[in-house]
Amino acid sequence: MSKELIVQMFHHIDSNNWAGLRPLFCRDVIYERPGYAPIIGAQELLDFYERVRVIAAGRHTIDGLLTEEDSAACWGHFAGTHRNGTPLQVRFADCYTFEDGMIKKRTSYFFTPAV
């Protein structure tokens, strides 16, 4: 079940189908993403995708996905466009925990140069 949740999540994100995301996340979901304060709650998460996220469009490709009972990790790459029109290409890894068949916590890591 958790594998399907992750695949569905990326499908909805890549399709800009924010309403489709809502049933996949716990009401009190926590999303940690570099460069942003923790996103807490389903409404704040949807607001992030609709209004805050700097990505205009793109596609995630999952290269690997491991799941256990209440946790999972995946990694892959993203190709898309920034809202300012510049192209984006980045490798990523995500860690997840699940509760009641939904995503309870998501933490994203991006493979970019660090100082």
pTM: 0.92
Residue with tokens 């209004």: 51
Contact of 52 with 44, CB cutoff 8 Å: no
Q: Which domains does the chain have, with CATH numbers?
A: 2-111 (3.10.450.50)
Q: What percent of the chain has pLDDT over 70?
A: 97
The answer to whether the CB of 48 falls within 8 A of the CB of 64 is no
Residue 47's pLDDT is 96
Q: 63-101 b/e with 16+ CB inside 10 Å = b?
A: eebebeeeebbbbbebeeeeeeeeeeeeebebebbbeee
Average pLDDT of the segment spanning 81-94: 95
Which residues are CB-neighbours of 30 under 8 A, at least 6 positions away? 38, 39, 40, 104, 105, 106
For 38-70, the pLDDT digits (tens) are 999 999 999 999 999 999 999 999 999 999 989
pLDDT band at 114 (very low <50, low <70, confident <90, very high): low
Confidence bin at 1 (pLDDT 50/70/90): low
The DSSP letter of residue 13 is H
